[in-house]
Structure 1
Amino acid sequence: MTRSAVVRAIAFTSLAVLLLAIGAALRPLLAPVNPPVADPVLNATEIGFIQDMAAHHQQAVQIAQRLDPDVDPGIAALARQIRDAQSVEIGTFLGWLRLAEAPPTNRQPMSWMLADTTAAHKHSPSSRPSDSPTELMPGMATMTELDGLAAARGHDAEVLFLQLMYRHHLGGVEMALAADALLTHGPVKQAARDIMATQSQEAGLMAAVLSQNGP
């Protein structure tokens, strides 16, 4: 190799080393080692509320399914309406939880509601039957009540269904009110407000029917 070739080789090698050094120095500026973490899809309150409301809706579907099919057509139609609407909402809630990579069930039901002492004071769970476990959400029926509804027929079934679903709706409204108070914006807050409006209206209808056709 000639002297000039050796000089060029050394020059190219030096240039390559220099470029590598410059690239290493600029790398933190061009590509941060710790890029910013994206905001979560849902916060903890939203996740807890959706998990609990999905479970709450699932029992409303059970109540509707246990109603004697031979009851008054108007009450049977109301049961189907509640079953169908809440089944759709359950699917929506579970879809949101999948997007947030959150489990479908809450290991600590209602913990999101009690995290804020003001909301907890205003909306403390109070709509529970006396023989239900303390971990149940507001308005939930016991297994004894569900079995009683499944066995009831005729007028007795109509009255028991309305009583259970009325209390269940009040519990759902209570949960939605708490979520609305804790959340500032977003689709979960809107869902809570929609639940308040729909279930308050249906609860009013059930109360009117019970007052006219009670025991």
Structure 2
Amino acid sequence: MIEIKNIHKSFSKNEVLKGVDLVIPEGNAIAVLGPNGSGKTTLIKSILGMVLPNQGEIFLNTRNIKKGWEYRKQIDYLPQIANFPNNLKVFELIKMIKDIRGGDIANENKYIDLFSLHPFLNKKLGNLSGGTKQKVNLVLAFMFDSPIIILDEPTSGLDPVSLLVLKDIILEQKVKGKTLLISSHIMSFVEAVCDKVMFIWEGKIYFNGTIADLKNETNEDDFEHAIAHLLKNAHA
């Protein structure tokens, strides 16, 4: 379980998170939604320890994350933009990440197969298309089988076949009881893989509940229209 208590974060005079309180239970796939600049990525990076809040606390399984970095080994992360040296070959990158993680047992071959990446293993990252790079990044995100998975815009650049593969992988993780936080602008994808929605607006949690709750609250049968309804109300 991840528990977030009264998190505030400012960058210079720009207050990005404004007293976020949140409990993320185990075994849920939660969509982290909101317009650009709402604080989604800052919240995710705060959980990862990549951003230090000005105020508030974050707990993973009742342990304050400030008390050590070891908790990060329980989390697999796909950043919105992953930058690695272009001269690295794909197999070299995978090996490097395995070496950095140390004793963790990686299952990269399963995901290399699923994303049909074998022809690209000996190619340099700088010579890959954006979609192929994203598939490599997804292999890195899933191969350690950690209990918590955070995916920031995982569908970016993916072709329809790879998108279906990604959906199947996420559904498999849910069956295993993993906790997933997923940020995406593709509402059909979110509805297909997520149980709950957390909508952030101007640094605060504007809605937190199931997709069914959201549709009931907005009187919308369609998920995309329900999100649009939230946006309109937030602007009002």
* More strand as a share of residues: 2
Structure number with greater CO (CA < 8 Å, separation at least 6) is 2
Question: Could you say which structure has the higher helix fraction?
Answer: 1
The interval holding the TM-score normalised by the smaller chain is under 0.3
Give the TM-score normalised by structure 1: 0.24
